[in-house]
Amino acid sequence: MARQFPVPHSIRTASDCHNIEDFRTLAHRRLPFPVFHYIDGAGDDELTRARNTAAYADVDLVPNVLAGVEQIDSSVTVMGRKTNLPLILSPTALQRLFHWQGERAVARVAERHNLWFGISSLSSVSIEEIGANYSGPKMLQYYFHRDRGLNAALVERARAAKFDAITLTVDTIVSGNRERCKRTKFKTPPEFTPASFLSYAMKPAWALNFLFREKFSLPNLDTHVAEGSSSSISIQDYFDKMLDPDMDWKAVEQLRNDWGGTFCLKGVMSVGDAQRAAEIGCDAIMISNHGGRQLDGSRAPFDQLEEIVDAVGDRMEVICDGGVRRGTHVLKALATGAKAASGGRLYLYALAAAGEEGVERAVTILEQEIRRGMRLMGVKTVGELNREMLRKR
Ligand SMILES: Cc1cc2nc3c(=O)[nH]c(=O)nc-3n(C[C@H](O)[C@H](O)[C@H](O)COP(=O)(O)O)c2cc1C
């Protein structure tokens, strides 16, 4: 579980990291604190963020033995694409702020491991660049803006760049209350004020990379809104000013039809909404509370998984998003009925800590954990995981 700081001295490089929590420790060491707390923090009292991971500990695995598991197959087909693992790298914003290699590093690792990954509407590389350079399965995470011209442009750009799916995030109708960001005055791009200067100056490696490498921008937005270019804004203000709180099921159906391709709804938490998503023809849903960054006190995705799978699992794919820090968490989600599990911080801490090398190591660790876990559970394919192999405490 979450480690208490100060940072143990033994974790100084990516090779000292043996699990995702170690990368969190290294990220804390390397990032200016406003940036670290933007990644690590969540809404209000951060109860939901904590529960997202803790929920996995309330269910135990019951393994079978003597199953002849030398040859195993951890692949799965999700949203029409076969991937090596039942693990998706969820879309997250602003990655160039966390490490200068940003989305490019994550895309390269995802491609090497043949994993789904997503770029955010607020990504720091363009839809076109990702489309042109990475052949792996990729989704554009879509925010529904007040500016309808921007919304239409995002769909067309995703189509032209041959993205495999659009994932509409529906849990961000207004911004969550991220108090850590308020305290640190986190803005994007960072404002170097007299008050914040010290936090950046104390991490010169990060600051030099940020200042002297490619300029930070949000290229999916910059043709439409000033916030896509150089003006600093808090994420809270961005969500509250730019996104359309009137978005409703009709708007989702319209977007789904305009896009016409594989469509996923991210941020569904109730059975009723999952049923509605199935009725309008979504191919998949991500059960998600945005990593606890939105509605604090919301239930954890893993806690909601069983009832949602029972209601809609035969009609569309259900992905369990958030809180995943171990391969066994993925196995528990799959045994409950998820098609795949997904997460953001599981690769973001590693990106922040050590760029592409870090993400490669984090994904490799998770891959080993999943495959080791499958063997110890006595399953040769992920499809063999089932609820008989789980017991609630
Ligand atoms: C720093 C950060 C930025 C994020 N940005 C986005 C985003 O732009 N769009 C989105 O739909 N979700 C975003 N998310 C949520 C992730 O897609 C995912 O739902 C969440 O990280 C899952 O929780 P986990 O971090 O515990 O895995 C972000 C999460 C983090 C930590």
Q: Which mutation among 1, 124, 293, 298 tests ligand 1's pocket best, with the greatest number of atoms within 8 A of CB?
A: 293
Q: Look at residue 186 in the predicted model and tell me its pLDDT.
A: 87
Nearest CA to ligand 1 atom 16: 344
Instruction: Give the rounded percent of residues in the chain with a pLDDT score beyond 70.
Output: 96
| Residue 289 CA to ligand 1 centre (angstroms) | 9
How many other CB atoms sit within 10 Å of the CB of residue 66? 6
At CA 117, angle to CA 115 and CA 120, rounded to 5?
180
Task: Give residue 235's pLDDT band: very low, low, confident or very high (50, 70, 90).
Answer: confident
Catalytic residue set: 290
Question: For residue 296, what pLDDT band results from cuts at 50, 70 and 90?
Answer: very high
Helix (H) / strand (E) containing 205: helix 204-212
Which pTM value belongs to this model? 0.96
Position 172 confidence tier, pLDDT thresholds 50, 70, 90: very high
Instruction: Kindly give the distance from the C-alpha atom of residue 71 to the centroid of ligand 1, in angstroms, as a whole number.
Output: 34
Q: Going by CA atoms, what residue is nearest to atom 7 of ligand 1?
A: 92
**Running DSSP on this structure, what letter comes out for residue 389?**
G
Nearest Cα neighbor of 268 from 243, 250, 294 is 294
Specify the higher pLDDT residue, 392 or 193: 392
123 CA closest ligand 1 atom index: 8
Of ligand 1's listed atoms, the one at least distance from the Cα of 91 is: 17
In short, whether 189's Cβ falls inside 6 Å of ligand 1 is: no
Confidence of residue 4 (pLDDT cuts 50, 70, 90): low
The response to whether residue 92 sits with its C-beta less than 6 Å from ligand 1 reads yes
Kind of pairing between the strands at 81-83 and 76-78: antiparallel
pLDDT at 231 over 70: no
So what's the pLDDT on residue 1? Answer: 53
Distance 349 CA to ligand 1 centre (A): 12
The answer on pLDDT for 265 being more than 80 is yes
* pLDDT tens digits for range 39-55: 999 999 999 999 999 99
Question: What is the band of 369 on the pLDDT scale with cuts at 50, 70, 90?
Answer: very high
Fill in the amino acid letter for 147: D
Contacts of 373 (CB under 8 A, 6+ apart): 61, 327, 328, 330, 331
The rounded Å distance from CA 92 to ligand 1 centre is 5
pLDDT value of residue 280: 96
Instruction: Kindly state the percentage of the chain with pLDDT values over 90.
Output: 83
Average of per-residue pLDDT values in the chain: 94
Residue 324 CA, closest ligand 1 atom number: 27
pLDDT of residue 194: 75
Give tens-digit pLDDT for 314-350. Answer: 999 999 999 999 999 999 999 999 999 999 999 999 9
Residue nearest to atom 5 of ligand 1 (CA): 92
Ligand 1: does its nearest atom lie under 6 Å from the Cβ of 141?
yes
Q: Ligand 1 within 6 A of 170 CB?
A: no
pLDDT attached to residue 320: 99
Answer whether 220 contacts ligand 1 (Cβ < 6 A): no
Ligand 1 near 322 CB (within 6 A): yes
CB of 298 sitting under 6 A from ligand 1: no
pLDDT higher than threshold 90 for residue 2: no
CA distance 378 to 102: 38
The half-sphere exposure of 247 on its side-chain side, counting CA atoms within 13 A, is 25
Domains of the chain plus CATH, in order, are: 18-392 (3.20.20.70)
What residues have CB less than 8 Å from 90, skipping those under 6 apart?
118, 266, 286, 288, 321, 322, 342, 343, 344
State the Cα–Cα distance between residues 127 and 108, nearest whole angstrom.
15
Q: How confident is the model at residue 234 (pLDDT cuts 50, 70, 90)?
A: confident
Is residue 227 very low, low, confident or very high in pLDDT (cuts 50, 70, 90)? low
